[in-house]
Copies of this chain bind each other. A is one copy, B any other.
Amino acid sequence: MQGKTMLDLGLRNELIVLDTIRHAPEGTSQSEVVHRSGLSRQAVSLITRRLRERGLIETDGTLSGSRGKPRTILRLVPTALLATGVHLDPAGISVVVVDLLATTITQRTLDPPSDDPAADIDRIAEALVAVQADLRAQGWSTPDGRDVAEAMLGIGVASPGGIDVAQGFVVNPPWLPGWRDVPLVQRLAAATGLPVVLDKDTNAALTAETWSVAQPPGETVLYLYVGAGVGSAVSTGGRVHHGSAALAGEIGHLPTGLEGPVCACGRRACLSQFTDAATMLQAAEEQGILPAADGRRTTARLGDLADAAAGGDELAVALLDRFGTALGEALRTLISVHDPHRVVIGGPSWPTLAPLALPVLEERALAGVTHPITIESSLIGDGVGALGAAALFLQNELSPASR
C-alpha cells in the first residue's frame, strides 16, 4: 500500500469490493461487503454505485437478514467482462474464452505447437478473431449490450516450464522443442492489440481450481498436474508460488524410491519413468495392450488403456497400478516438503486415469501422514490449461492482492 497514489488506492478498493461480491455466488448485501472488506460504508456505497453503472454488478431483489430486515442483494454479472486463455499444450493448442467466474463461453483446439513459433502465434491470433466473430454471429453481447471485443480484457497464456514470466519469453521448454527464446507476450500483444500474461501450465491449472472460490488466507494448496508429463504447483491463499524462473514444480525426475531402472538423469526410478503419457503408451503397445500409434490424441489412447484395465486386462491394470504407485510416492514426498492443507490432482489425463489410479495413489501418498489432509480430484480435464491461463489473466487484472 505504500508509495501509491490515491487513484491506486481507489482502484484497489474497487477490486476488494468486486472480489467480495464475486466470492458470494448467491449474492450478498452492502452491509456484508462493508463487514468483509473492512472498508467504510461510504466507500462501499460509492464503489458499488460505480460498479453497477459499469454493468459489473447488479442489484437483484432483497435478502432477509438475520434480524429480519430485508436488504438489497448485490450480485456479480459474470458475463460483463471476458478473458481469453491459451494453452501451448504439446498435444494441441487450446483457446478458450471465459467470463469473470472463469466459466467457459466458447473454446477450440488448434494443431500442436510447431517448429515455427511466429506462425503459431499468428494462428493463435487468427483463432481469437474467429472465436470472437463466432460469438458475435451467435448474437453474444454483455447483458448491458456491449460487443465481445469491448468486453474482452486480455489474454493469459499457459506454457510448459522453461519460460521467463517477468520478461514474457518462452525460453527453452523441453516439451516444446520448436520454441526457443520466443518473445511471446510482446508478439501476441502486437498481433491482437490485447494485454497478455504468460505463466507455467501447472500454475495456470492450479489457478483454474482456486479462482472462483475465496481461498482462506493461510491455506496451502498443492496441485498435481497430470498431462503429457507430470508437474506440481503450490499456492498460499490463492497466490501461486513462483520461484526464480517459473521452474518450480518440475518433478519429472523426482526419485520415487521404488524399484526401477536408472534414468538418463542418473537417478534410479524417476517419476517420469512411470508417469509420462508417452512412456505408458509405448509400454502398452509393446505389451500388446494397445495397437501401434494410430494418430489418435494422447488422452484418447490413455482412455483406451484405462478401458482395457477396466475390462480386466491384467497388463493394463499393472501399468496403471505402477502409475498410481509412483505418483503416490511422489505425492508423499511433496506432502513432506510442502505440508499442504489440501491436495488437488488434475490435468488433461487425470479424469481418464483417476478411477483406477486414485486408490493406490492415496494409500501411498498418505502413508505415515498423521494429520488430516484431503486429496481431491479435479474433473476439469483437457481444458484446464487454457481455462487456468484465462483465470491467471483475471487474477493479474482483478485480484486486489496483485495491486
Contact = CB atoms under 8 A, between A and B. Distances in A.
Interface stretch (A61-69, A125-133, A136-144, A248-256): A248-256
A42 interface: no
A339 B233 CA distance: 11
Given A1-B1, A236-B241, A329-B255, A248 B339 contact: yes
Contact of A270 (B244, B257, B338, B367): B257
Interface in A346-403: 367-368, 370-371, 373
A3 interface: yes
Q: How large is the interface on A (under 10, 10 to 19, 20 to 34, 35 or more residues)?
A: 35 or more
B338 A248 contact: yes
A241 B341 CA distance: 12
Contacts of A334: 337
Nearest to A330: B255
A339 B244 contact: yes
A312 interface: no
A257 B268 contact: yes
A210 interface: no
A254 B1 CA distance: 40
A255 B255 contact: yes
A59 interface: no
Interface of A: 1-4, 16, 37-39, 172, 218, 220, 232, 236, 241-251, 253-259, 263, 265-270, 329, 333-334, 336-341, 367-368, 370-371, 373
